[in-house]
Amino acid sequence: MAAAGMPAAAMAYETDQFSNRDEPIADSTELLNARVNETLQKIVAGQGEDPDEMAVVDAIYHEIGGHHWVDKLERWAMQSEQVEKLDTPRYDSVFSGLPWYALRVTTFFGVGDTIRLNDQLIGSDKIGHFLSQGRKYYRRYRKSHSESAAAEHSAYTERAIFGRITTGSYSNADLVANYEGHRFYRSLFEDDIVSDKPAILRWEDGGWAIQRNFDWADHVNEYWDEALNINHFDALLYKHMHERLVSLCPQYWENPGLYTISDEAPLQEKYAHLGMQDMSELRLDSLCPAQEALTAGKSSPGVPASP
């Protein structure tokens, strides 16, 4: 396979934002902002006299993205002691103990790291989706001039390569990270891609100039978190994940706010075209109250149990 010979942690196909969710790890936004902005400064300093936007995009990809399984910035975040991670051992996660035939490759590769970015818990793999898949999304957009058309291909990729076939999961959060990567590349050159902000770069006096800094906070939100934007699980995996998530209800009741999106409507509207599959039934703020009602119905005299 393409990733043969790489460390197992770098080949992880899933991440886990459920386990140890209440662990107070530091936010790494400032650290990762610095890495991206240093890259932009380096690229601008080395650009020639041709205002080739795609050359800038490709330079960013070559510098902090990557041609291999794990992007350079993602690998740095995984390996850096400066970037705090949730304490989730590879084989002691929300997926642990589930049948190998349902988990498929996740059984062998374990789970990847979870970090905090813009005060959201996200899988480190989302950095690669943002930079590499976001670049592919942006290239398709430049050809089609349609975000919806580019989104269709992104959804196909998640089904075929990164999702259902290999893991049984279809990651809605991956689709969001892909799209936000596309928005980042557009925001290099276009005003108001990030609301009320100018483009990051402008062309003046025969060269690119930086007119504002990049900020992960312009792109990362609750829908990057797979405990809030739940994966779609195929028929083999769904029943096992349902049972496992029900088992987490005691920790949900200890702190329901950790599993709740306070204002979800704007996110639903923003990402409506991405091909996400609604799995809110498995989010703990829906699942656990439903299970409590079901249990109460079964135990109450004269009240018929739910079908």
- Amino acid 14: pLDDT: 82
**Cβ distance 25 to 86 under 8 Å?**
yes
Domain tally for the chain? Answer: 1
For 73-115, the DSSP string reads HHHHHHH-TTS------TTSSTTTTS-HHHHTTHHHH-EE-EE
Determine the straight-line distance between the first and last CA of the chain, rounded to whole angstroms. 45
- Amino acid 148: pLDDT: 80
* Structural domain contains residue 15: yes
pTM of the model: 0.88
List the domain range (segments joined by +) for residue 243. Answer: 8-295
- 298's CB contacts (< 8 A; 6+ apart) are 305, 306
How many Cα atoms sit within 13 Å of 59 on the Cβ side? 18
* Structural domain contains residue 193: yes
- Amino acid 9: pLDDT: 37
* Structural domain contains residue 303: no
* Structural domain contains residue 301: no
Spatial separation of the C-alpha atoms in residues 151 and 163, rounded to whole Å = 15
**Average pLDDT by consecutive 10-residue portion of the chain (307 residues)?**
36 79 96 98 87 95 85 94 89 77 57 94 96 93 84 62 58 94 97 97 93 98 97 89 96 96 96 92 96 71 39
* Structural domain contains residue 307: no
Residue 272: CB atoms within 10 Å: 11
* Structural domain contains residue 256: yes
* Structural domain contains residue 153: yes
| Closest-CA residue to 245 (of 123, 88, 98, 104) | 98
- Amino acid 49: pLDDT: 76
- 118's CB contacts (< 8 A; 6+ apart) are 27, 29, 216, 217, 219, 220, 221
At which residue do the structure tokens 């609604």 appear?
A: 278
Spatial separation of the C-alpha atoms in residues 224 and 106, rounded to whole Å = 20
Read off the DSSP letter of residue 51: -
* Structural domain contains residue 265: yes
